[in-house]
């Protein structure tokens, strides 16, 4: 790996722990004004000090994040679909690589839709991004999306997606947690982070998810709704950090969540 690429990746996956807590706030690119992300700047601003990286589109970056913010940006550069359109899988690259460079990003991200009619198109987009990324020393994060038509999130399917992403040159991969998750990690020669998915019933479930993923080989999370749809988002991200960076047991991290809620006067 050349120096620029390794340096940018190390801004996201922290060398001190080998782990990362990325904050995903890119949901609007196909979901519109998602609950609690209606005014992105208000949601994002208080969480910046606790995130290792921010994953978002250029539109939200430009309008809603201060240019002096000291945290690495993972820029979503794929899209072109919506939740009410015919196929979420029909994504293309939406952002010129030049623009990613101009925005001083630490990585670019796109979704791949393996097993859909748009598989080839999205995999070729990944290859194109990797070619550009190699030219300029910018890592590519491949997101193994499951479109609304693909409910399947088992280890066999996710291993296939992650391995293909790594073979095509992604520097790291984002996927979903599943049973036998260690098999997904084993078969993927680049670091794996997990998405949080829709808000879980309890915050303990979120901590358990992060804990299970880390203990089975994930290097971290790229989490959105389970943090910022919480009534206590700062306490939530702090507790997730404890699990990811300090290997805190779930109960201990939950105690930290409760303490942080009280300390913030958010109870
Ligand atoms: C996935 O493709 C989206 O772009 C989100 O970044 C991702 O789902 C992570 O957010 P959440 O934890 O809310 O699922």
Q: Which atom of ligand 1 is nearest to the CA of 199?
A: 13
Residue 166 counted as domain residue: yes
Ligand 1 close to Cβ of residue 245 (< 6 A): no
Q: Which atom of ligand 1 is nearest to the CA of 196?
A: 12
Residue 68 counted as domain residue: yes
Ligand 1 close to Cβ of residue 91 (< 6 A): no
Residue 106 counted as domain residue: yes
Residue 247 counted as domain residue: no
Residue 244 counted as domain residue: no
Give the CATH number of the domain where residue 26 resides: 3.20.20.70
Q: Which atom of ligand 1 is nearest to the CA of 24?
A: 6
Task: Report the pLDDT value the prediction gives residue 267, as an integer from 0 to 100.
Answer: 43
Residue 149 counted as domain residue: yes
pLDDT digits (tens, 9 = 90+) for 212-264: 999 999 999 999 999 999 999 999 999 999 999 999 999 999 999 999 998 87
Ligand 1 close to Cβ of residue 237 (< 6 A): no
Task: Report the pLDDT value the prediction gives residue 118, as an integer from 0 to 100.
Answer: 96
Task: Report the pLDDT value the prediction gives residue 263, as an integer from 0 to 100.
Answer: 84
The 3-class SS string of 28-50 reads: HHHHCCCCCCCCHHHHHHHHHHH
- Structural domain of 82: 3-197+218-223
Residue 190, both tokens: 């680049």
Number of domains in the chain: 1
For residue 24, give the 3-state DSSP assignment: strand
Residue 252 counted as domain residue: no
Output the CA angle 110-115-118, nearest 5 degrees: 55
Residue 77 counted as domain residue: yes
Task: Report the pLDDT value the prediction gives residue 266, as an integer from 0 to 100.
Answer: 47
Output the CA angle 94-100-106, nearest 5 degrees: 125
Task: Report the pLDDT value the prediction gives residue 5, as an integer from 0 to 100.
Answer: 97
Q: Which residues of the chain have pLDDT under 50?
A: 266-267
Output the CA angle 121-165-176, nearest 5 degrees: 105
Nearest CA to ligand 1 atom 10: 224
């Amino acid at each position: 790996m050349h120096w620029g690429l390794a340096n940018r990746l190390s801004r996201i996956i922290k060398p001190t722990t080998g782990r990362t807590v990325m904050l995903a706030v890119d949901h609007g690119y196909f979901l519109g004004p998602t609950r609690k992300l209606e005014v992105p700047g208000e949601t994002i601003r208080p969480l910046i000090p606790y995130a290792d990286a921010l994953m978002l589109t250029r539109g939200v970056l430009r309008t809603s994040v201060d240019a002096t913010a000291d945290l690495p940006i993972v820029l979503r550069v794929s899209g072109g679909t919506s939740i009410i359109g015919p196929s979420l899988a029909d994504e293309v690259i939406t952002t010129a690589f030049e623009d990613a460079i101009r925005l001083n990003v630490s990585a670019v991200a796109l979704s791949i839709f393996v097993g859909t009619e748009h598989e080839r198109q999205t995999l070729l987009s990944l290859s194109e991004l990797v070619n550009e990324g190699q030219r300029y020393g910018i890592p590519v994060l491949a997101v193994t999306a499951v479109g609304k038509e693909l409910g399947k999130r088992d280890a066999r399917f996710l291993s296939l997606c992650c391995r293909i992403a790594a073979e095509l040159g992604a520097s790291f991969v984002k996927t979903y947690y599943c049973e036998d998750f260690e098999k997904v990690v084993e078969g993927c020669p680049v670091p794996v982070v997990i998405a949080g998915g829709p808000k879980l019933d309890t915050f303990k479930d979120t901590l358990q998810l992060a804990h299970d993923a880390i203990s089975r080989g994930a290097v971290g999370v790229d989490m959105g709704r389970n943090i910022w749809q919480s009534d206590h988002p700062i306490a939530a991200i702090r507790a997730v950090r404890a699990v990811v960076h300090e290997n805190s047991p779930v109960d201990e991290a939950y105690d930290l969540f409760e303490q942080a809620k009280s300390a913030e006067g958010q109870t």
